[in-house]
């Protein structure tokens, strides 16, 4: 009986190991970006192209937030609000306005919750403003930032990135301008991210031992 139990335990352990810890596969878990895009510095860049009204982005959001807290110090994560038509621009403006005010972190999740849980319609400054004010943002400062030259520039840059990276849907994650992760279960994304980042480190000849940064608050 002990031998049988031992064999069963071993089989279970092996099954768990091959499924939970299997390396992510090119063509299945991620694909190559064509053409690849240059990145800004020596860190490994991760971009998330997202859309607040996207239900898949909403479900991925908490997993990505947790991953970000323990993200290795050699990785940087940037968020790009995706606009497919004029009606989606106000929420992108909201993202950049809050980011500029240093208050994105305190409102980001509330926007997702308002849209997907409370069924709120956030489509312009007048409908969005009460939500951000309820979450501690000054109404006048937000309105000024929403319509500022800086936000105009960032919105235009985001539109250009969406075209350059040929983004067709959200969420889409791009690692090192080379690998694309999309259409994955939210709980699987952190594992795939870690695998792809490890692949990039190997390609760049970086040290094989990852060093995680201390958990800290991030401001996007």
pLDDT tens for 5-36 read 444 443 443 343 334 445 899 999 999 999 99
Cα R_g (the chain), whole angstroms: 20
CATH code of residue 55:
3.40.30.10
Q: Are 103 and 67 in contact (CB under 8 A)?
A: no
Does residue 114 fall inside a structural domain? Answer: yes
Does residue 9 fall inside a structural domain? Answer: no
Domain range for 116? 89-148
Mean model confidence pLDDT for the chain:
87
Which has the minimum average pLDDT: 38-42, 80-84, 91-95, 98-102?
38-42
Q: Are 177 and 46 in contact (CB under 8 A)?
A: no
Does residue 48 fall inside a structural domain? Answer: yes
pTM: 0.82
28 shares its domain with 57: yes
Q: What is the mean pLDDT of residues 76-83?
A: 97
β-bridge pairing 31-32 and 75-81:
unpaired
74 shares its domain with 102: no
95 shares its domain with 199: no
Which has the minimum average pLDDT: 15-29, 48-62, 204-218?
204-218
User: Is pLDDT larger for residue 17 or for residue 49?
Assistant: 49
Does residue 189 fall inside a structural domain? Answer: yes
User: Is residue 82 predicted with pLDDT exceeding 50?
Assistant: yes
Does residue 204 fall inside a structural domain? Answer: yes
Give the Cα-Cα-Cα angle 23, 24, 26 (nearest 5 degrees). Answer: 125
User: Is pLDDT larger for residue 6 or for residue 187?
Assistant: 187
Does residue 53 fall inside a structural domain? Answer: yes
95 shares its domain with 140: yes
* Whole-number Å distance between alpha carbons of 78 and 39: 12
Does residue 11 fall inside a structural domain? Answer: no
201 shares its domain with 179: yes
> Into how many domains does the chain fold?
2
């Amino acid at each position: 009986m002990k031998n049988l139990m031992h064999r069963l335990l071993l089989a279970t352990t092996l099954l768990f190991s091959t499924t939970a810890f299997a390396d992510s596969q090119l063509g299945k878990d991620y694909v190559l970006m064509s053409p690849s895009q240059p990145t800004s510095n020596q860190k490994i860049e991760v971009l998330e192209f997202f859309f607040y009204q996207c239900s898949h982005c909403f479900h991925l959001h908490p997993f990505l937030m947790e991953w970000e807290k323990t993200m290795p110090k050699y990785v940087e994560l940037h968020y790009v609000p995706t606009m497919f038509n004029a009606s989606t621009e106000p929420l992108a403006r909201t993202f950049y306005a809050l980011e500029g005010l240093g208050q994105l972190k305190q409102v980001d999740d509330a926007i997702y919750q308002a849209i997907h849980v409370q069924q709120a319609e956030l489509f312009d400054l007048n409908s969005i403003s009460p939500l951000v004010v309820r979450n501690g943002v000054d109404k006048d400062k937000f309105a000024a930032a929403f319509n500022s030259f800086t936000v105009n520039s960032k919105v235009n840059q985001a539109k250009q990135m969406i075209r350059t990276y040929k983004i067709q849907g959200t969420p889409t994650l791009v690692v090192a301008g080379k690998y694309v992760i999309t259409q994955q279960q939210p709980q699987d994304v952190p594992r795939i991210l870690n695998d792809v980042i490890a692949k990039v480190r190997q390609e760049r000849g970086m040290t094989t031992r990852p060093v995680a940064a201390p958990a800290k608050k991030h401001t996007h």
